[in-house]
Structure formats: C-alpha cells, structure tokens
Amino acid sequence: MTIQRIIGIDPGIARMGYGIIDVNGNHLRPVAFGCIETPAHTPVGNRLRQIYEELSALVQQHKPDAMAVEELFFNRNTTTAFTVGQARGVAILAGVQAGVSLAEYTPMEVKLAVVGYGRADKAQVQEMVRVLLALAERPKPDDTADALAVAITHAHTAPLHSALSAQGSRTSLGVPAPQRTIARRPASEVGKGPKR
C-alpha cells in the first residue's frame, strides 16, 4: 500500500499551525507538527515573507503529497480577516509552487471528519487528534492541534472523493445514479397552507 504524506495548515499571521502526517491505509502516523510564529510589531510584508520561507522549507524537507488548509470564517473583525487571509494565501502559494496538491476544508467539515460532530468544541477535537495519532498528550498550542485535525480530515476525506470521482455519476451497481429533484411550489402559493 502507498503511503501518502499530508501537511495540514491552520492559517494565522501571528501563529500558523502546521501538522504533517503519513497515511498508510487506515493507519495515521505523525511526522512533524508545530507553529510558525511571527513577531507582532513587524511589518505585515515581513511576517508574510517569514511564513512563506519557513513553510517552503518545511515542504521541501518533508515533501508532502497534499496540503490541506482550513477555510476562514470571520464575523466581525475584517482587518484580522484580511491579514489572516493574506497569510493563508502565502501558505497556499508555498504548497502550490512546490507542486503539492491542495484541498480546503471548512471548520465544520474538520469537526465532522475528526470527531463525528460538526459542533464539537476545541477540547473534543484536540482529544480525538491525540487518540487518532496515538500521541501521549494533546498537541499544543491549539493552532498545532487544528493543523493536525485538518490533515486528518484530508486523510479521511480524500479516499472518498477519489472513489466517487473514479466512479463518476454511477452507482455501485454500474447504473446511472438517479438525479435528485426538489418539488417547488409556485411563488404565489408560498406561505399558504396545503391545497385541499
């Protein structure tokens, strides 16, 4: 069986978590994990360059087959969102320039894949990362645990996507899959009770 190496990324400008795992069938093995930290009172451009250079060095050293990056969701602080988005873009660039395939996952997809529950809290995710990777303790800081969780998500999700892509739109019996249709009521009848 082929071993696949995945690097998971938890984007951040002050601290970017990374987690590298090897996947051999159902067996997951941690390879390296930690954070890239940038100094707070440094121009953003310098911080982005540091993230790019350190992440590029990690990719060159460990040669992952895939990079899994968590998608960003910010409700309030747009300044933080833009800066973290820039760091995320730099991380993606480091992987793509090295020829690493890219996958992106929402926080809910990560929680579902790792814990089995889309509203799991951080402690539940960290504990499952510890269990799945047979670590003596939960990875610290949170950014590292999150990055490992993203890598685990890709390990669990990528084979399913590959199988579905290879199968195309056919069922396991080789017949075309039925198309889902949704019955819709005319707009003039929305809000009215059922017809009698």
pTM over 0.95: no
Q: What is the mean pLDDT of residues 169-181?
A: 40
pLDDT in tens, 38-53: 999 999 999 999 999 9
Topology (CATH level 3) of domain 4-189: Nucleotidyltransferase; domain 5 (3.30.420)
What is residue 80's predicted lDDT score, i.e. its pLDDT? 81
What does the pLDDT read at residue 167? Answer: 52
What is 114-182 written as a DSSP string?
A: HTS-TT--HHHHHHHHHHHTT-SS--SSHHHHHHHHHHHHHHHHHHHHHHHHHHTTB-TTSSBPPPP--
For the chain, give every domain's residue range: 4-189
The contacts of residue 29 (CB under 8 Å, 6+ apart) are: 21, 22, 23, 133
pLDDT of 56: 98
Distance between CA 26 and CA 132 in Å, rounded? 10
Q: Which residues are catalytic?
A: 10, 70, 143
Tell me what the pLDDT averaged over the chain comes to.
Answer: 85
Q: Which amino acid is at 47?
A: R
Q: Read off the pLDDT of each residue in 8-33 and give the average, rounded to a whole number.
A: 97
> Is residue 86 a contact partner of residue 13, using CB atoms and an 8 Å limit?
yes
pLDDT of residue 159: 67
- The pLDDT of residue 160 is 59
